[in-house]
Amino acid sequence: MVPDLAIREMRRAELDTLVEWAADEGWNPGSNDAQIFWDTDPQGFVAAEQGGELIGGGSIVSYGGRFGFMGLFIIRPDQRRQRLGEQLWFHRRDLLISRLQAPAVIGMDGVFNMQGFYARGGFAFCNRDLRFAGVGAAAPHAKALVDLGAVPFAEISRYDAVHFPAPREQFLKAWINQSGSRALGAVQDGALRGYGVIRPCRQGFKIGPLFAADAEIADVLFRGLGDIAPGEPIFIDVSENNPQAVALARRHGLREVFGCARMYYGPPPVLPYGEIFGVTTFELG
């Protein structure tokens, strides 16, 4: 018998617990992730409890009903291998489908050894997203780079929407202005040609997103972002279907340390993958 679960909307304090569990798993969450994630979609988090105790959860964030993302999928270690995760996962999938406009399109980054399970749930493999780790280095200021706060938000949002499956203004405002981070834009001839964010994490800093019109601009942005963390660990999640992004990481001495399968329920979004040099997050897309 598979034990029954009580599955419900998550409370704000429980998201902090889930993020702590993620840290224990080695996922190295950002210092500000929990609050930013919650503010993006307060109804986008599901809790599983048994006997009144939180034993698992995950995100089912909707971006304006136009695109969904499933992440932060965790069952407490002492409650694993009882098929509880299967109950929770399918409940989350179905609930997120109900929150989206038809036809529903949902993305997720899942660990490689779970691809078969996710495929049985209707998700198809798109590409591998690889985490690279290295060390930040001081860099001279590049003239093309500006503080992203100096760029009109409407322009940032427009540029971001080209590189992400749906507009995400609520998330974006908080993400580029979070405490302890650096957000830079690359401006050429008065036009935004790329932008990137680096944020503090439990260990070091993570770069994401990193979007750029070409590899040269991406390299300038990477250097400018890494300058905030000389000698500190830095990480970037790279979509393998952009070979130039993988080459950038390796060129800067980063090594591959982890990876996930990007999978989609529904038709995969059409994106300019050659301009995506760093994924925003494995948790919210």
pLDDT tens column, 94-126: 999 999 999 989 999 999 999 999 999 999 999
pLDDT tens digits for range 235-273:
999 999 999 999 999 999 999 999 999 999 999 999 999
pLDDT tens digits for range 195-237:
999 999 999 999 999 999 999 999 999 999 999 999 999 999 9
The CATH class given to the 6-128 domain equals alpha beta
Cβ atoms of 50 and 5 closer than 8 Å = yes
Q: Is the pLDDT of residue 1 over 70?
A: no
Q: Please report the pLDDT score of residue 58 as a whole number.
A: 97
The number of residues in the chain equals 285
Same fold, 6-128 and 131-258+266-278: yes
Could you state, in order of their start, the residue ranges of all structural domains in the chain?
6-128, 131-258+266-278
3-state secondary structure at position 40: helix
Q: Please report the pLDDT score of residue 82 as a whole number.
A: 83
Q: What does the pLDDT average to over 148-168?
A: 97
- State yes or no: cis peptide before 167, omega within 30 of 0: no
Percentage of the chain exceeding pLDDT 90: 93
Q: Please report the pLDDT score of residue 30 as a whole number.
A: 97
∠ CA 231-238-279 to the nearest 5 degrees? 95
CA dist 77 and 12 (Å) reads: 21
DSSP state of 101: P
pLDDT tens digits for range 31-59:
999 999 999 999 999 999 988 999 999 99
Q: Does domain 131-258+266-278 have CATH number 3.40.630.90?
A: yes
What value does the mean pLDDT of the chain take?
96
CA dist 64 and 167 (Å) reads: 8
Total-model pTM = 0.95
How confident is residue 2, by pLDDT bands cut at 50, 70 and 90? low
Percentage of the chain exceeding pLDDT 70: 99
CA dist 175 and 35 (Å) reads: 10
CA dist 137 and 134 (Å) reads: 10
